[in-house]
Structure 1
Amino acid sequence: MNVMLYAYLFLACAIVAEVLGTAFLVKSQGFTQLIPSVLVILCYSISFYLLSQVTKTLNIGVVYAIWSGVGIVFTAMIGYYAFKQILDTPALIGIGFIIAGVLIMNLFSKTLGH
């Protein structure tokens, strides 16, 4: 398999782990609930490990922008569907800008790899 494909696969897994960790962060109730707290630490550890592997292939700035940007979008979706947290119009516009930024970097930037 192509090295870049592996990098993006690891990045996708890092995003999923980070989003799950953030969801468990809400459930941990300020780290007062043992199982969700352990899951937060586990998910974030997996996410950061995978990010460290991705940065061997892809530019750290681009990796972090994609990881955080996509993570924000997915976390907002989980907040809406799982925790009934509603975003107002300016928040949705801001998320739209984040999505646009990630797309612009991936479609037009020549700085993806080292």
Structure 2
Amino acid sequence: MSSQFQTVNTTKAPSAIGPYSQAIIANGFVYASGQIPVVPETGNIISDDVKEQTKQVIKNLTNVLEAANSSLSQCFGSSRPARACVEVSRLPKDVKVEIDAVALVNSVSSV
């Protein structure tokens, strides 16, 4: 098994705020780091509303996955994905939502 991986970076999602990548590709999978509701163009949190935050998080996650030649449909198909829900006392920048993902990379890679 190869230990090689490729980092993923896109300006269509917020830059990582710590020592990590937006995502990596390894062995046919993309591992996307947790996305928070930061608007990439401004660097600001979209709003304090949990619904708006969730929409922005999904938009950011979609953009990261697309930069890795994948998509949300590679996370959620006809089968239920494995998942974890974790309660924490606080998220970065005091946001209400953070979502990460593991998805298949589409078979023809352009990354």
With structure 1 as the length reference, what TM-score do the two structures score? 0.34
**More helix as a share of residues:** 1
**More strand as a share of residues:** 2
With structure 2 as the length reference, what TM-score do the two structures score? 0.35
Larger radius of gyration: 1
